[in-house]
A and B are shown apart, each in its own frame.
Chain A
């Protein structure tokens, strides 16, 4: 099983550019999440999707948009990248909100 697959693994953007981070899970999970991880801080939730067709803001949603394309896929879009969005981004999924979470390998994004 692939588990949670996110792409790309690395990306460098110029300020103002846009990009979409892709995430797909093959475990038939209902819930999917996007986190960012910054040095010295715990993971912070950007957006989550409790189930197909729903999305909700997390702790740090500003500057991001998401799409739950179907049950498998949950994408994160940066419309106009800023240096403050330089971070490592993780996608995760779980069967429900309080069940074990499975993580993708992360995307290291640098905005210059």
Chain B
């Protein structure tokens, strides 16, 4: 079993829909990261959080440390949000454990 599991693997939605991507982990962490990988390949950090909730524009990330679970939400989704969203956890020794990613496609 992978230490970081993301769901769903693939998600296709219509423009405007509310999107939720989930991440569960099985190890003790110091932080959890959400990243976005564009179709061109570049990787951008969206959030780093160790508790609670963070919001940036239409993106919201939450984490429940007790449940070992995090969610990334996108409100009012847009085709430009189409990308692979990756969850990764810091385990305190300079290493990140990565999820396999969720491929999101938003159709106009």
| A→B interface (CB under 8 Å) | 31, 33, 40-45, 48, 50, 56, 58-59, 88, 90, 92, 97-103, 105-106, 108
A43–B33 CB distance below 8 A? no
> Is B61 part of the binding interface, using a Cβ–Cβ cutoff of 8 Å?
no
Query: In the complex where A97-B90, A98-B31, A98-B90 touch, is A103 in contact with B96 (Cβ < 8 A)?
Result: no
Q: Are B94 and A42 in contact (CB under 8 A)?
A: no
In the complex, A24 Cα to B89 Cα: how many Å? Answer: 24
Asked if B51 is at the interface (CB within 8 A of a chain A CB), the reply is no
Give complex CA distance A101, B37 in Å: 13
Query: Contact partner of B86 among A40, A42, A58, A97, CB < 8 A?
Result: A42
Per-position binary interface string of chain B over residues 72-108, scored 1 when its CB falls under 8 Å from any chain A CB and 0 otherwise:
0000000000000010101011111011110000000
- A101 adjacent to B96 (CB under 8 Å): yes
B48 proximal to A (CB < 8 A): yes
Output the least CB separation between B87 and chain A (Å): 9
A48–B94 contact, CB under 8 A? yes
Knowing A90-B43, A98-B90, A101-B96 are in contact, say whether A42-B101 is a contact too (CB < 8 A): yes
In the complex, are the beta carbons of B100 and A42 less than 8 A apart?
yes
Taking a contact as CB atoms closer than 8 A, the residue among A42, A45, A59, A105 that contacts B42 in the complex is: A105
Known A42-B86, A98-B90, A100-B48; judge A105-B96 contact (CB<8 A).
no
